[in-house]
Amino acid sequence: MNLLRRLPLPRLLLLCALVVAIGVSLTALASALSSGPVPPPKPLAQAIHDALGGSAVRGVSAQVTLTDHLLEGASLAGGSGAGGELTSNPLITGGSGRLWISSDGKVRLELQEESGDTEVVYDGKSLTVFDAASNTIYTYTPAAGEGSQAGTEATAPPQGAPSLEKIEEAIAHIQRHAGLSGATPTDVAGQPAYTVRISPDEGGSLLAGAELSFDAVHGFPLRAAVYSTTTPEPVVELAASEISYGPVEASVFEISPPAGAKVERLSATQPHHGARATSAHRGNTTKLTGHGHGIASIGVLETTAKPGSASTGVEGLPKVDIDGTSAGELRTELGTILTFVRADRRYVLAGSVTPAAIEAVARGL
């Protein structure tokens, strides 16, 4: 949890890249404003079944725009420091560029920005982020065993689409826990598509729901958007104006940074066999607890603070008072993170709730 304690720029950029890369691989693209062919109305289960049974996708190339309002108004430090670099990066502020996805799961996303382009590449084994503004390459490779399944899906024999009965069972299961709309016929990036929205049944959180659009012919996800209860517009959305299906050259997934680029390699520490999150190790104790239930629950991570640690542990965040203790608070459209040090203990609280809800729990610790 060092990332949450210090939030240095390299780790923040990598975290954002992970989120974007996963979102890209699952959703690929978002809707264009131009009109296009619209598929006929169908029940959701039938629309999914027919789309998954369509022609296979051998690759995707597209013009894309990432819209990201997650940290808008979060009051991160500006200027020439880490906060200023962070808030000017297109992974945080959004940007336009190109996206490629190969049939074997490789992904490349390029976002252009006046301060410099950002490139994110996943080759099936490791994640690489090149930040042109700082001429820095960040690489992350999973620890041994963490990525043992990587690449197996690409070589696995193709399987047919799930039966209509199985799809209906899955939809019924989801509807027991959340609201699920029908399949709304639309067009996405000039392709016939269906859009479905999922919304939490429970109240009390900042998450209003998410939308997914998928190609009615190929079954490929085309659009994803996440919504907050604070605004009708998407907080995060990936959009495309053009999309084409077909093989993607292997060379597309090779990054060629300029000479002199700084390289930072990040790696996950593999826990000892049998270790638990709530165990003590080398004098450090960690405890993770939950407050509340469902989507509005708040997680509390309690760890041993290092001697001389800053009271908030996070630079560039607004400060709030928690019963005489100064805390750093990150407010976003989808949730809140609060961190502070009391005595020799560091607390990190996070949840998809308002700052007032997080602060109330913190004062009860």
More confident residue, 81 or 309: 309
Closest CA to 167 of 56, 57, 55, 52: 52
**pLDDT given at position 117:** 81
Which alpha helices (H) appear in 227-344, and where do they start and end?
Answer: none
**Residue extent(s) of CATH 3.30.200 domains in the chain:** 280-363
Over residues 120-169, the pLDDT tens digits come to 999 888 899 998 888 889 888 876 655 544 444 443 444 677 899 999 99
Cβ neighbors of 33 (< 8 A, separation 6 or more) are none
- pLDDT band at residue 316 under the 50/70/90 scheme: low
Residue 242 and residue 189 in contact, taking contact as beta carbons nearer than 8 Å:
yes
Between strands 284-291 and 280-281, the pairing is antiparallel
Instruction: Output DSSP code: residue 278.
Output: T
Indicate if the pLDDT at residue 312 is higher than 90. Answer: no
Residue 49 and residue 167 in contact, taking contact as beta carbons nearer than 8 Å:
yes
Over residues 91-106, the pLDDT tens digits come to 777 888 999 999 899 9
Amino acid identity at 104: D
Tell me phi and psi for residue 127, to 5 degrees: -110, 130
Which superfamily does CATH assign the domain made up of 2-267 to? Lipoprotein localisation LolA/LolB/LppX (2.50.20.10)
Over residues 259-279, the pLDDT tens digits come to 888 888 876 544 444 434 444
**pLDDT given at position 267:** 63
**Residue extent(s) of CATH 2.50.20.10 domains in the chain:** 2-267
Instruction: Output DSSP code: residue 136.
Output: E
Structure tokens at 30: 């978002």
Supply the mean pLDDT for the chain.
79
**pLDDT given at position 268:** 54
**Pairwise CA distance, residues 251 & 254, whole Å:** 5
Residue 310 and residue 319 in contact, taking contact as beta carbons nearer than 8 Å:
no
What SS3 class is residue 171? helix
**pLDDT given at position 185:** 97
Instruction: Output DSSP code: residue 7.
Output: -
Select from 1.10.1610, 2.30.30, 3.30.200, 1.10.3720 the CATH code of 280-363: 3.30.200
**Pairwise CA distance, residues 257 & 232, whole Å:** 39
